[in-house]
Structures are given as C-alpha cells and as structure tokens.
Amino acid sequence: MTDVTALQFDITSFLATPGSGRKLVALKTNDAFFVQGRKSDCVFYLKTGRAKLTVVSDRGKEATITLLSPGDFIGEDSVAGVPGLRLATATALTACTALKIGRDEMIRVMHSETGFSDVFLRFLLVRGMRAQADLVDQLFNNSERRLARILLLMAEFGQPGEIESLIPKITQETLAEMIGTTRSRVSFFMNKFRQHGFIEYNGRIRVHKSLLNVILNDQSPGGNAVSAMLETPKQRKIVGQAIALRGQD
C-alpha cells in the first residue's frame, strides 16, 4: 500500500499547484517573501523570477547571502527544529511567482513521500556547496573578482549551449551591496569588463561567456584585465562546480 501511494505522488504537480497547506503567490520587484525577525512558519518554492537572501546587522549594515533562481526553495530553515524567527530577508529581484508551503504541510510531505524528500535533500546539498563556494569567494577574492562571479551566477552560466545571457535588471548600488564594496568601484570594474568585451550593457547587462573563460582559465589579456577568480586550482574548481550546479537546478 505504501509503494502504491508513493507511485501516485506527483512531485511536479505538488510543486506546481495550490492545495492543502500550500498556495500560489505573486510578488513584484522588491517585494519581500519574508522579513528577518518575523515568524518562520512556511517555505517558498520559487517557480519564476529571481530573488535574493539578505541579512541586516544590529548596526543596519546589509549583506547578501545568496541569489535565488527558479527551482530553489526559500526559507527552508523553517522546518528545522522548533519554529523560530527568520534569520534573513528574502526579496524579489524581479517579478516572481512561488508556491507557499506551510511548515506543517512541508514536514508532512517530507515524512510521507520519499521522492519529495530526495528532491529536497538534493537541494540542501547543492545549497551547501554554493555556500562553501561563497565563503571561499569572500575569503580569497578581491571585489573585482567577486563582481565577476556575481555576474556569472546571475547569468546562470553552466546550462548546455548557452553563449551569452541577459541578467535581471539591477543597479550598480545593489551590485556594490552584494559584493561589499562601493558603487564607484563597481562602475570602474564594469567599465573594465565592457572594454575587454566580457559584458555589454544599455539598461540591461548582457554577460558574455568570455568572462567565464577568463575567470576559470586564469587568462589575463592586458594589464588591466580580470585575472583568475581564485588563487589555486582547487579553489577555482569549487567555484566552477557551483556555477555549473546553478545551471542544473
């Protein structure tokens, strides 16, 4: 009987449609999925659009933890242990649609449906690998390299056959906030990237695959070009895997 029930459970349908304990929600650019310090009582499954996860210190300084794409869960910490408060804020970078799943329903389906548990576990493992790559990025890279990595992640390089990509509309102030530097430094680096043909922008930023090749292959065309993203082959491999994983979600 258990095997029959498992076969009847449709993960795609569960994550695509509203039902008991879950509903579809639509958010506009800059709308919040949830806010740091509020009750943690649900998980979101991002269906369309892009979002970011940020934290704010007691002094009011904001830092971006990660970028979120379709296929990502948001607020998964709500199913861990005793319900608590949100540790971060999730905000829509573009118009988004998502499935809002109540904490009780999320726990129920994790316990009763092994197929869903497998999907969710894989997401958590991939998220952990991305967090490791993010930490390496912060520890070893200067702001120029961090900006290059953010642009590549936002362009979702790693998908088969992809040559170039437009990223969601984003300001230089937001990019500066995401990599921990000033807007003037971001402007300087963006002009450098454009001069070398790595990007182009006129309202929207288009990231060319050449930026990925420069970072991962340690090429340095010209004295002011972007150098390797990380200092050792092992570090570059970690970041390369994280970028590739983004394309597999």
CATH code for the domain of 204: 1.10.10.10
Token couple for 47: 């269906």
Q: Is residue 48 part of a domain?
A: yes
Please tell me whether residue 240 adopts helix, strand or coil conformation: helix
**Is there a single domain that holds both residue 58 and residue 159?**
no
Q: Specify which residues 201 forms β-bridges with.
A: 205
**Is there a single domain that holds both residue 69 and residue 173?**
no
Sheet holding 62-68, edge to edge: 32-34, 89-92, 51-56, 62-68
What's residue 86's pLDDT?
94
Helix (H) or strand (E) holding 199: strand 199-201
Alpha helices in 9-113 (DSSP H): 11-16, 103-112
Q: Is residue 93 part of a domain?
A: yes
Q: Is residue 130 part of a domain?
A: no
Token couple for 99: 């499935």
Among 97, 112, 127, residue at a domain's last position: 112
Alpha helices in the chain (DSSP H): 2-8, 11-16, 103-112, 114-140, 143-155, 172-179, 183-195, 209-217, 233-248
Token couple for 15: 């994550």
**Is there a single domain that holds both residue 97 and residue 154?**
no
User: What tens-digit pLDDT sequence spans the chain (249 residues)?
Assistant: 334 444 467 898 999 989 999 999 999 999 999 999 999 999 999 999 999 999 998 888 888 888 899 999 999 989 987 778 999 999 998 999 999 999 999 999 999 999 999 999 999 999 889 888 878 877 787 888 889 888 988 887 755 555 557 888 888 888 888 888 899 999 999 999 999 899 998 778 999 888 876 566 544 433 333 333 334 444 444 445 444 444 444
Q: CA 155 → CA 3, 6, 211, distances in Å? A: 41, 36, 11
Q: Is residue 75 part of a domain?
A: yes
Q: Which domain holds residue 180?
A: 135-248
Q: What is the dihedral of CA 110, 112, 118, 120, to 10 degrees?
A: -20
Number of domains in the chain: 2
What's residue 107's pLDDT?
94
**Is there a single domain that holds both residue 104 and residue 29?**
yes
Cβ contacts of 92 within 8 Å, gap of 6 or more: 27, 28, 29, 30, 31, 32, 33, 49, 50, 51
Q: Is residue 230 part of a domain?
A: yes
What's residue 158's pLDDT?
58
Q: Is residue 128 part of a domain?
A: no
Token couple for 115: 């197929």
**Is there a single domain that holds both residue 229 and residue 158?**
yes
Q: Is residue 47 part of a domain?
A: yes
Token couple for 229: 């993203």
What b/e string do you get for 73-105 counting C-beta neighbours within 10 Å, with b at 16 or more? bbbbebbeeeeeebebbbbbbbebebbbbbbeb
Please tell me whether residue 32 adopts helix, strand or coil conformation: strand
Q: Specify which residues 52 forms β-bridges with.
A: 67, 91
Contact present, 151 and 207 (Cβ < 8 Å):
yes
**What is the reported pTM?**
0.75
Q: Is residue 122 part of a domain?
A: no
What's residue 181's pLDDT?
87
**Is there a single domain that holds both residue 93 and residue 145?**
no
**Is there a single domain that holds both residue 102 and residue 147?**
no
